[in-house]
Amino acid sequence: MPTEKKSPEPIRVTDKRIFTAEGDIRDEYRNRVTPVDPATVLEHEPPQPAPAASEPPEVETDRRFIMLLQLLDANVYNALELAGRGHPQGKEAARQMIDVTEVLAEKTAGSLSAEESESLKKLLGEAKMLYMKVTKGLKV
Q: pLDDT tens across 41-65, in order?
A: 655 566 677 666 556 667 888 999 9
Please give the pLDDT value at position 13.
Answer: 79
The neighbouring-strand residues paired with 25 are 19
Q: Is the pLDDT of residue 114 over 70?
A: yes
Please give the pLDDT value at position 99.
Answer: 94
Phi and psi at 19, nearest 5°, equal: -110, 150
Q: Choose between 48 and 74: higher pLDDT.
A: 74
Gyration radius from the chain CA atoms: 30
Q: How confident is the model at residue 39 (pLDDT cuts 50, 70, 90)?
A: low
Q: Give me the mean pLDDT over the 77-103 stretch.
A: 91
Q: How confident is the model at residue 118 (pLDDT cuts 50, 70, 90)?
A: very high
